[in-house]
Amino acid sequence: QVQLQQWGAGLLKPSETLSLTCAVYGGSFSAYYWTWNWIRQPPGKGLEWIGEINHRGSTDYNPSLKSRVTISLDTSKNQFSLKLNSVTAADTAVYYCARLREVEATFIYYYYMDVWGKGTTVTVS
């Protein structure tokens, strides 16, 4: 049973850098059909996709956050990380890490986030 355990600083001041790490336990980390994602949820609001990194280290980011976001991989530790710089109060949210799974069925590809971390509350104040 794969589990994602995430951690990082929960209270930041404006202009500081948010740094979170997500560790993968109980399963392979480097399969080609998995991509590692970060998602956030401001208080009382919906989910916002932040970005992802695949097993080769290729990244994709939400265009609205791209200038401030870096997602990286440490395959030796089965971990991936999120850095968001120059934070403001608008970055206050619960941050989740999640595994995106690719499934192929008769040349059609499906994608879904099948494993999630418990979430880390980050407050910028």
Task: Report the interface residues with another protein, using CB under 8 A.
Answer: 37, 39, 46-49, 52, 60-63, 96, 103, 105, 108, 110-114, 116-119
Decide whether 29 or 96 has the Cβ nearer to another protein: 96
Q: Provide the 8-state DSSP code for 57.
A: -
**Partners of residue 84 on adjacent β-strands:** 18, 69
Q: Residue 10 Cβ, how far from another protein at the closest point, in Å?
A: 16
Q: Residue 16 Cβ, how far from another protein at the closest point, in Å?
A: 25
Decide whether 32 or 110 has the Cβ nearer to another protein: 110
Q: Residue 76 Cβ, how far from another protein at the closest point, in Å?
A: 26
Q: Residue 13 Cβ, how far from another protein at the closest point, in Å?
A: 26
Decide whether 27 or 119 has the Cβ nearer to another protein: 119
CA distance 56 to 34: 11
1: number of CA atoms within 13 Å, CB side?
A: 2
Q: From 58, 52, 113, 65, select the one nearest 93 (Cα to Cα).
A: 65
CA distance 40 to 71: 14
Sign for the CA dihedral angle at 28, 33, 38, 39 comes to negative
Decide whether 5 or 15 has the Cβ nearer to another protein: 5
